[in-house]
Structure 1
Amino acid sequence: MTNLPEPVRPSGASHLRASDADRERIVKVLGEALADGRLDVQEHSDRLDAVYQAKTMGELEPITYDLAVTSPQPQARPAGRSANAPVVDPAGASDRVDQMIAIFGGVERKGRWRLRRRSRAVAVFGGVDLDLSDATFDAPEVVIELFAMFGGVDVSLPEGVVVRNEASGIMGGISVKTGDTDPPPDAPVVVIRGVAIFGGADFHAKRRRRNHFDH
């Protein structure tokens, strides 16, 4: 049995593809509903999963039908905000440190996943590969603690984030290369801490996939 409300009559925008901004708006409504008691924890979790699985506005509309006066409609993005800016959802935040440990092996995170307030990436003769393009941030400021020894940590960054590098390299290096677009004043912040010893960490804008038309 699902905790989602009954389907609603399709609106004129039901066929349109949902954007990250549309999902972010629904996540905010769900967070407010959880905070004021209109949803319990399980209902909030079920509906949050439905938000991240939705591809069209028609799939988003039922999720807040019994919470909002009107169904969600596509909205113009605020000036200066990137279409690929990450979603920040403090309602699902956790104080637990997300451990990603690669020893003589590898760890990969990509697609829709939660970047916790604090994450720890350890690469010893191995590699940790993180793609934040579709990740949901637990807070406006998140911390990634890294330890790379004869290994590497590779992080693909979405547009619209600020990166603050507080990590050190000992016979190793920390590289940070963000996109060309200046992030807005309220952009989420990714703080890098830790050390690379005979290893490295590379934080970069998501690389565009090449095709046979590129030269």
Structure 2
Amino acid sequence: MTGLDEHIAALRVSDADRNGTLRRLHNAVALGLIDIEEFEERSAQVSSARLQPELDVLVGDLPGPGAIVTSAADRVELRGVLGSLKRHGEWTVPTRLALVRRMGSVDLDLTKAKFAGPIVVIELDLRVGGLDLRLPEGASASIDDVEVIVGSAHDHRKDAPAEGRPHVILTGKVVCGGVDIRGPRKSWLHRNG
């Protein structure tokens, strides 16, 4: 049995394995277990990892997948059935935002929002409806942890993330709907000038 264990531990890793490791590193930043500098160091090693033990070493001292936790005071839950939910303008985005919707869309514009922390986790539980998310210039986002059943998740932005800007981690499930991430709206003058 020891030979079999060694064989399994020495298996080559796939892109899905690397993405899972990156999600755990994102979670560790959200929990305050590692800082951005350590996250960047470990993330760089993820892409060059070829064997499972190389990935295991990068997350061996961190909680398992799905272990994102924050204090209850930092979590806001927005629930609803039918219709749409919209948040625009200046508002404070908590470190953890849960969106629970049935037969309705969610339109979040974070371009003028204040962020409670450098990382925001948005938990999705959407049925027959989707999320349209607008992020400020230079913000980054991860949709790797979103499960979409009958629909799609797409980040439409082309600009590279900027250092010191907010990072949004989307997680959870969307059934019969989609997730669309866009940057700030461009003014008519900006588009034509």
Measured against the shorter chain, the TM-score band is 0.5 to 0.7
Distance, in Å, in 1 between the alignment partners of 2:79 and 2:188 is 30
* Structure 1 position 121 matched with structure 2 position 106: no
Quote the offset at 1:94 in angstroms: 7.3
Offset at residue 176 of structure 1 (A): 1.5
TM-score (structure 2 length as normaliser): 0.56
Of residues 183, 197, 202 in structure 1, which corresponds to 2:180?
A: 202
* Structure-2 residue corresponding to 1:173: 152
TM-score, normalisation: structure 1 = 0.51
Instruction: Give how far 1:133 is off.
Output: 0.6
Question: Structure 1: which 5+ residue stretches go unaligned?
Answer: 1-92
1:103 paired with 2:78, answer: no
Offset, 1:214: 4.7
Give the structure with higher Rg (CA).
Answer: 1
Aligned alpha-carbon RMSD (Å):
2.3
Number of the residue aligned with 1:17 = none
Give the match's secondary structure for 2:73.
coil
1:170: how far off?
1.1
When residues 94 and 147 of structure 1 are mapped into structure 2, their CA distance, relative to the original with a 3 A threshold, is closer
SS state of the match for residue 95, structure 1? Answer: helix
Bigger share in helix = 2
| Cα contact 1:102–1:128 (8 A) shared by 2 | no
Distance 1:176 1:99 in 2: 23
Percent sequence identity over matched residues?
31
Matches of 2:89 and 2:141 in 1, distance apart? 20
Residues 159 and 194 of structure 1: CA distance in aligned 2, closer, same or farther (over 3 Å): same
**2:130 counterpart (139, 147, 152):** 152
Matches within 5 A, 1:19-30: none
> Equivalences for 1:24-173 in 2 at 5 Å?
95-165=73-143, 166-173=145-152
